[in-house]
Structure 1
Amino acid sequence: LAQVGHESGQLRYVRELGGDQYLAKYDTGKLAARLGNTLEADGDGQKYRGRGLIQVTGRANYQRCGEALGLDLLNHPELLERPEHAADSAGWFWHLAGLNSLADKGPSAFEAITRRINGGLNGLDDRLAIYKRAEQVLI
């Protein structure tokens, strides 16, 4: 819940915010290559921006997610903005990244989960705050 809460702006967004300049980081260079985007400045960064509750990002991830969910996400990436697909894509990524086994370890694995989702510790304080709120409500 904490990871989804942070990645989606507390369930407000299913599409990564940012204009062309911000999303250009996904269009060329090492990050684009890692995400499976073409290396030309052709709009892949914008087209395959983060979407869904965990923000599936990059052409390669859209292709794998689409295959798993039975969706043509390469031609219709906006499908991940629909509530059912936004949730399904988060479940797909959670499973693919093996996050259940980490989550079962409790708070000690929180940073490892964050790194697998985000590639770093971006928003760690917000994620932890959401975790603590969820823990108070659910336990």
Structure 2
Amino acid sequence: MAMLKRGMKGAAVKRLQKQLKARGFDPGLVDGDFGGGTEAALIAFQLSEGLVSDGIAGPRSLAALELAKPADIWPDVLPGVSVQAVSQMFPFTPIGNIIENLPPVTTALSEYGLTDKPMVLMAMATIRAETESFKPVAEGLSRYNTSPRGHPFDLYDNRRDLGNRGAPDGERFRGRGYIQLTGRFNYQRYSEQLGLGQGLIDNPELASDPLIAGRLLAAFLKDKEVQVKRALLEGDLRHARRLVNGGSHGLDRFSDAFRRGESVIPDMMT
């Protein structure tokens, strides 16, 4: 897989510099020497295109600059995401649950273009952290969502950050699905994004339907793809987890699944 970064020299770097300049991002001298000017211009281009702004011309940056063919972008690893491979990422999960629920998840990841290894691992590790059963489930009662003498999920009722408007919003829009979608704001946003109109607002239980839960997972991760990949590029699994969960809940399961997946999911099919 082609990659150009600071310190490299040659014709490929010169082509990169020419394309950056043609796009309005001046790297300075077009001399085939990948220095600070080229790096700064590339970062500016990446920010403009919504790419990971790491100053490294990887497959997607090169494709965006028309210096690589679409086939050279991150390879599709979904064909290697088998029940057997996923079961190794979920060592405590009944295999029947994986057989039943893996298809709606991989179908949704394909629909949203999340077929490269980093995002596939992110999706599977997120499921392990949120619902190790590999089934879309509804959030249960805990001290984090219900006060000692309160009604179920009363601590969520008035969470303005979740868009909740008081009882019964806390219970109505509690966490559901593979990703534990939570709060009126998210139910409204992703209901519209998935083309369901007011479906998730009128019937929040739909978020636990496997087909819809798979699409919710993919849509949520797609919205955070650039930030997630930046965290993964830096090897910061804690931050990648926080981008989805808002904290470190389930980080141990998330990290374990991700590391296992790095070994059992092939980089590409041959």
| Superposition TM-score tier, normalisation by shorter sequence | 0.7 to 0.9
**Aligned position for 1:99:** 225
Q: What are the equivalent positions in structure 2 for 1:1-139 lying under 5 Å apart? A: 1-18=124-141, 21=146, 23-28=153-158, 32-38=159-165, 40=166, 42-71=167-196, 72-96=199-223, 98-100=224-226, 102-103=228-229, 105-106=232-233, 108-139=235-266
* Structure ID, larger Rg: 2
The CA deviation at 1:107 is 6.3
The structure carrying a bigger helix percent of its residues is 1
Q: Secondary structure at the match of 2:235?
A: helix
CA distance in 2, matches of 1:101, 1:118: 14
After TM superposition, give the deviation of residue 100 of structure 1 in Å. Answer: 4.9
Write the deviation string for residues 70-114 of structure 1: whole angstroms up to 9, x where unpaired: 221111111111100000000111112x23552364461322221
Residues 136 and 209, structure 2, Cα contact 8 Å, conserved in 1: no
User: SS in structure 1 opposite 2:247?
Assistant: coil
Unaligned runs of 5+ in 2: 1-123, 147-151
Computed over aligned residues only, the root mean square deviation of the Cα atoms, in angstroms, reads 2.0
Separation in structure 2 between the aligned mates of residue 55 and residue 113 of structure 1, nearest angstrom: 16
The normalised TM-score by structure 2 is 0.45
Aligned residues: 133
1:13 and 1:91 mapped to 2: Cα distance?
A: 13
Change (3 A) 1:132 1:108: same
Unaligned runs of 5+ in 1: none
Q: 1:86 to 1:60 in 2, by over 3 A?
A: same
Structure with bigger RCO (C-alpha 8 Å, 6+ apart): 1
Equivalent residues of 2:181, 2:187 under 8 A apart = yes
